[in-house]
Structure 1
Amino acid sequence: MHTKTKDIQKQYQGYINTSPLWMKDSVFGIEQFEFRIKEETVFNEELSSNLRLGKRVERFVSNELKQDDTIEIVLENKQIQVEKRTIGELDCILKQDDTPIHLEVIYKFYLFDERVGTTEIEHWIGPNRNDTLVKKLTKLKEKQLPLLYSEHTKPILEELKLNAKDIKQCVYFKAQLFVPYTSEIPEFKLLNRQCLAGFYIHLSEIDKFTDCKFYIPSKLNWLMAIQTQVTWLNFDSFCGQINTLIHEKKAPLCWLKRPNGTLEKFFVVWWS
């Protein structure tokens, strides 16, 4: 069963148009990979409909890398195993102008909650509060990137005639960021303000939008820009669907169409 090609192309476009979570300076000592090409690219691969969002994004990144003549992909999605137990995975090793680069790929959705932590980085959490930006950066720094230097990775690198100490490490970390409804936009010192994608509200505030239309995209379609040619729900139908999700402690991404035609992305959260 394959996802509709048109949907995949829209997801790919949404991924392409998402900005990196930070730009020039490194965050947590982690450097962002910079793509040099900026041309429009198309995604022609077929993808299984059960390929989850993170893995889908890895296919999108691979496609984007292949468009650049200065890049050669050496290795992709290589699991590192010790006695049949997987200890981690290298997303990608590539060569850019003959410089070997270990690239980890991340795509996330974060909500701003200034009650969590004390720093800009600590304030960003996952929609269901079980994921945080700090947690992800820590995992990258302490687990995912150091995997390159593991003794269990060495034989794989030797086969590729590579030495870990010669390999530069980067991440390709993109994200959509959401801020509380009607609150001031927080200050962006380290992160990229262009990642701002919408707002979030608690279920109890939903009656502010009684005159609007709604749509709840599938998780894979969280990637894409808002589409107008969908079956929009009225307020009552939307409330019925959203209550079920919130009852299951799921915070869904939704699309909103105001009476004047303005379109916005937002999360409805179960926590307050």
Structure 2
Amino acid sequence: MKEYDVFIIGSGMAGMTIANKCASKGLTVGITDELPYGGTCALRGCDPKKVIIGATEVRDFAKRLNGNGIDTIPKVNWKDIMAFKQTFVDEMPPKIEKGYEKNGIDTFHSSAKFLSDNTLEVGNDKVQAKKIVIASGSKPRILEFEGGHFAKSSTDFLNLEELPKLLLFIGGGYIAFEFAHIAARCGAEVTIVHSGESPLENFEQDIVKHLVSATKDLGIKLILNTDVTAIEKVDGQYRVEGKCAEKTEYFEAEAVFNSAGRPPAIFDLDLDKANIAYTK
């Protein structure tokens, strides 16, 4: 059994920072991640999203200036954007792992489960540590209704080989709005279905009003006070059922995306065996 001063579950920005700082102080450190090293932000979130947004912003600026110095609105080439984005994503995991190796940090590439308060099962290995850090991030919320498995994740959106012409997002959070704007600027028809009276409830509502206005100006349909209750696959497309009070509506889409929130990725860690209290 390997023993460490500190062992970290998750190699995103939080886990990476802790691992490298602890190693710099002379502590023995191990880290694991069942996904490629780098975490959501670098590989499946903020950074690749910014690359894609950059191209769509150029088109948006050109459209605003059309007739005022700009004569041609450029067309967004989705395949080229994806290929360009991937050049940044692909280089991150080996670069991060090389940094760990340089700092004397042991690396693992498996999921972890607690066996006790200081012992973990990491793939086929068992490790003990004086301190165990949970930096496992979050994952898409599981949609419990019928056909929920048909909904794709934000990661799937960032890896689309081709952009569907008709998209629907379940949930009116910031991920839905960011991706909806990207898709709309690329010429897709987009619908956001949100269960609440207002999207982005935890954000400053005056700013949200301006965002909603800009969203509608892009032609994005924003459906509020509607709970998605089922997704059905019909002839290669999807039929989404939404209920508002006593009324049932149906929406058609080539692709449906789950943007209904991201709970913490802790529920497969067997936290009870380590006497760790948590809520769902």
> What is the TM-score with the length of structure 1 in the denominator?
0.24
Q: Computing the radius of gyration over CA atoms, which structure comes out larger, 1 or 2?
A: 2
Higher normalized helix content (fraction of residues): 2
